Chains A and B, each alone.
Chain A
Amino acid sequence: MQYMLLIYSTEGDGPDDPAVLERYRAFGEEVREAGKFVAGGRLRPTSTASSVRVRDGELTVTDGPFAETKEHLGGYYLLDCDDLDEAIAYARKIPAAERGSIEVRPIWEVPVRA
């Protein structure tokens, strides 16, 4: 089943240190080689975010993220894991887990009709 690993950390606390970047690269390689990787990426800072809302058919676009919080969504991995324990085992290897936190959410499975 697929799990979304959402990386939350303090803005500006991204992986700019070459040693940390190297750990992300190694992690990406590990999940790809294990056949777990579905998608993943680092988000640009919240200063680049736009929020879109439609109310009564009326579009509003505002500058900034949906909610102003101390910890921001900084990136994600979408992994295909056997179960929650495996997803947690990968989540703990993401460097941001040591300073921020990784939210692990199962993807709603839509039954595929044969």
Chain B
Amino acid sequence: MTELERIFREEYGRVVAVLIRDLRDVELAEDALGDALAAALVAWPRQGVPDKPGAWLTTTARRKAIDRIRRERRLEELLTHLENDEPPEDEGIPDERLRLVFTCCHPALAAEAQVALTLKLVGGLTTQEIARAFLLSEATVAQRLVRAKRKVRAAGIPFRVPADHDLPDRLRTVLAVIYLVFNEGYSATGGDVLTRPDLMAEAIRLGGILAALMPDEPEVLGLEALMMLHAARSEARTSAGGELVLLEDQDRSLWDRDQIRRAIGLLDRAMAYRRPGPYQVQAAIAALHAEAERPEDTDWPQIAALYGGLAAYQPTPVVELNRAVAVAMADGPGAGLALLDRLPLDGYHLFHAARADLLRRLGRRAEARAAYGRARELATNERERAFLATRLETLA
């Protein structure tokens, strides 16, 4: 990424948010900002990057928007409103990105539209970058974005932070969108690489923006901490050959200790609010893993208890699966298997992988082989499939 591209991506969300507020039209705001970025590409290499690139882009984009409105001879009252408005002072651009986040993650939009809009408008990614990250064609992403922007306008989705009584529900959607972006980076659902570090970094950056905009929401901090803790271990999660390495086999010297420390700092700040939530609990679990010097130092009883707490927020079989694995570590594979066998997860490859592992530890090799085989049939990621095949071979 060039220096200018980096600045453009950093400034995009902030500038486009102000423009959407003033212009009340997502497409016009994006077009005007596109014009301004094109102007910057010409001007900045010659005159140098301005001290406040965001202010420069905002002012230029507003002028470009006025040009466009004039050209189209429409929205005449809007034109008066814009012309009478003071142009933004250097330090005076308000941060409207929080409204933008809530508009992009409005529950009336489909999940994939929420993700695409958030990455495009708040994250400043190009359509091409989003397409590459999600292994979709550029045309598909472009169409998704156009449809979503049309729905925002036609259905009257507001550009506003929700009222207090709606905020907890709406914030949950925002956090889910960011975590979805992260998870697609952390464990790619398709293709031949296990992780997409760009997407993880982008999700963490979005989490950081949200935490700065809503500093008193412990779940936002919890999510940021959770993503940082996972990302801190991602280097050790694949071998030199790109194979998946399980937590207990990872080279812990590859973990990013500095990032772990910062994440735990965030988590401590979050927990001081005494308003626990599912992201804080998951971050606490990840922190216990990250703090263990060696696998045998892991505080499994505490982790099993935290999964029990998580199940209260998210009573899903997948959470129960993780709890069963932690119980197996704390109280032995037999206790874990008893919990596991009650779960309705026959179509989920990680259920069979976990079962296989417990059966292997109990010395029930034939059943373990069958379970690894089933896991491999169900896995979609090539690297995971290869890993499961290796496990099968060791039991042959």
Contact = CB atoms under 8 A, between A and B. Distances in A.
Contacts of B156: 1, 3, 81-84, 87, 106
A87 B108 CA distance: 12
A85 B155 contact: no
Contacts of B154: 106
A82 to B, nearest CB: 8
Contacts of A1: 156
Chain A's interface size range is: 10 to 19
Interface string A103-114: 010100000000
Contacts of A85: 157-158, 160, 162, 166
A84 B166 contact: no
Interface in B104-155: 106, 108, 154-155
Contacts of A82: 156, 158
Nearest to B165: A89
Interface string B154-189: 111110101000100000000000000000000000
Contacts of B160: 83, 85
A2 to B, nearest CB: 10
Contacts of A83: 156-158, 160
Contacts of A81: 156
Nearest to A111: B74
A84 B157 CA distance: 5
Main secondary structure on chain B at its contact with chain A?
loop
Interface residues of B, number: 10
Contact of A106 (B106, B155, B166): B155
Interface in A47-85: 81-85
Contacts of A106: 154-156
B88 to A, nearest CB: 26
A75 to B, nearest CB: 21
Contacts of A3: 156
Interface in A1-30: 1, 3
A82 B155 CA distance: 11
Contacts of A87: 156
Contacts of B106: 84
Nearest to B157: A84
A1 B106 CA distance: 18
A84 B151 CA distance: 11
Nearest to A89: B166
Contacts of B157: 83-85
Contacts of B108: 84, 88
Interface string A81-102: 1111101100000000000000
A1 B152 CA distance: 13
B135 to A, nearest CB: 32
A84 B162 contact: no
Interface string B171-212: 000000000000000000000000000000000000000000
Nearest to A106: B155
Nearest to A81: B156
A102 to B, nearest CB: 13
Nearest to B108: A84
B113 to A, nearest CB: 14
A102 B162 CA distance: 21
Contacts of A84: 106, 108, 155-158
A8 to B, nearest CB: 17
A66 B157 CA distance: 30
B18 to A, nearest CB: 19
A110 to B, nearest CB: 13
B344 to A, nearest CB: 26
A85 B162 CA distance: 8
A88 B108 CA distance: 10
Nearest to A85: B158
B148 to A, nearest CB: 13
B191 to A, nearest CB: 36
A18 to B, nearest CB: 29
B165 to A, nearest CB: 9
Contacts of B155: 84, 104, 106
Nearest to A109: B154
14 contacts: A3-B156, A81-B156, A82-B158, A83-B157, A83-B158, A84-B106, A84-B155, A84-B157, A85-B162, A85-B166, A87-B156, A106-B154, A106-B155, A106-B156
**6 closest Cβ contacts across the A-B interface?**
A83-B158, A83-B156, A84-B156, A84-B157, A84-B155, A106-B155
Given A82-B158, A84-B108, A84-B156, 14 more contacts: A1-B156, A3-B156, A81-B156, A82-B156, A83-B157, A83-B158, A83-B160, A84-B106, A84-B155, A84-B157, A85-B160, A85-B162, A104-B155, A106-B156
